[in-house]
Structure 1
Amino acid sequence: MPLLKRRSKFQIAKLHRRDFMASVAIGAAALACFRHPAYAKPRIVEVSMGTALMTFLPATVTIKVGDTVRWTNPGIVSHIINFDPARAKQAGSVSLPAGVEPFNSEEMEKGDTFSHLFTVRGTYHYTCRYHENMGMTGTIIVR
C-alpha cells in the first residue's frame, strides 16, 4: 500500500485553482499597496535659472507631495530663491499654502544648487530676491 494517497484529477484541479486564486489575491493586494502615492518613488525635478532673461526654466512645475525641486544656477549672475512673503519686493508675488513656513536659498553663484522637499499640497509662488522687479518669478504646484 502506497504511503501517499492518490488524488483524482478533479481534486488536483481544485487544489491548483485554489492556489492560483490565492496567488492572484495576494498579488493584487501587493500591487494596490505599492500604487498608493505614499509608496511612490519621490522625484527630483530640475529648474534652471536663465541669466539672459532672468527667468526660472521652467517657470511652472507640477509635482507630487514628497518630490524635491532642485534649482541650478548655470550663469555668472547671482540669485537668491525667495519663498518668504515678508521678503518680497511686491505684495503678492510670493505666496505659500497655509501652514507652510517661509524659506529661502542662500546666495547662489555659478554652479550652485538649492533643493527643497515639498511635503504640503498647494500652490507656491516664488521669486528671485535680486531680480523680482525684472519678472524672475516661478510657481510650484504640489498635488
Structure 2
Amino acid sequence: MKRRTFLTTVAGVTTTALAGCIGSSLPQPASDYDVGMSHHSYLPEAVEVRVGETVVWGNSGSRGHTVTAYGGEIPEGAAYFASGGFEDEDAARDAWNANPSQPEGGLIAPGETFEHTFEMPGTYGYVCIPHEPQGMVGTVTVVEK
C-alpha cells in the first residue's frame, strides 16, 4: 500500500471513529428544545407557554446542569418538577449533594434534555443547583389556552 493511500485511509477511519465520541458533546440544534443551558445560564431565562404544553430544556453547553423548581415559586397545587424526578426541592438538593455530576443527582449531561408538561397557569421559578451561585435561574409563565 502506498504511504499516501495508507494515511488517507487512516485519517478517514479515525475521523469516523471520533465522530461518535465528539457528536454527543456538540450543541443540539435550537429546534430540539425550548430552553438551552449554557455555561451559567438558561437561554432564554423566561419562557411563556399555554396550559398543557411541554417545555423541553436542552443542555447545549459543556457542563452538567439541573432543572429544579423552587418549591416556593410554583403555583399552589401545581405538580413539582425537577430533573431526576424528585418530589420536592429538598429531595433534589439532597440528591445533588449526595451524587453531584450523576444522573441520580438530577444531572442533565451535555447533549441531553429534560422536559415537563405544565398543567396549571401561573409562574414557575427554577434553578440549576450547581450554578445557583452564578445566578442560573429561570421562569416559565403558563397562561390559559
Larger Rg: 1
- Pairwise CA distance, 1:45: 6.1
Question: Which residue in 2 is equivalent to 1:104?
Answer: 82
Give 1:50 deviation, angstroms.
1.6
The match for 1:134 is: 134
Q: Is the 8 A contact 2:70 2:125 kept in 1?
A: no
CA contact (8 A) 1:45 1:68 kept: no
Structure 2 counterpart of 1:129, which letter?
I
Deviation of 1:84 (Å): 4.2
Check whether the contact 1:84–1:103 (CA below 8 A) recurs between aligned residues.
no
Q: Which residue number corresponds to residue 48 of structure 1? A: 36
The one-letter code matched in structure 2 to 1:98 is: E
Q: Which amino acid aligns with 2:142?
A: V
Maintained 8 Å contact 2:38/2:62: no
Task: State the superposition RMSD in angstroms.
Answer: 1.6
Name the residue aligned to 2:114: 114
Q: Which has the higher contact order (CA 8 A, sep 6+)?
A: 2
Amino acid at match of 1:80: T
Distance 2:33 2:108 in 1: 18
Deviation at 1:110, TM superposition (A): 0.8
Preserved CA contact (<8 Å) 2:81 2:116: no
Counterpart among 50, 53, 62 of residue 64 in structure 1: 50
TM-score (norm 2): 0.58
1:95 equivalent in structure 2: 73
Output one character per residue of 1:100-140: Cα deviation in whole Å (capped at 9) or x when no partner.
Answer: 23221031111010010000000001100111111000010
Q: Which structure has the highest strand share of the two? A: 1
Q: What is the TM-score with the length of structure 1 in the denominator? A: 0.59
- Determine the C-alpha separation between the residues in 2 that align with 1:96 and 1:45: 22
Runs (5+) with no aligned partner, structure 1: 1-43, 86-93
Alignment of 1:68-87 (within 5 A): 68-85=54-71
Structure showing the higher helix proportion among its residues: 2
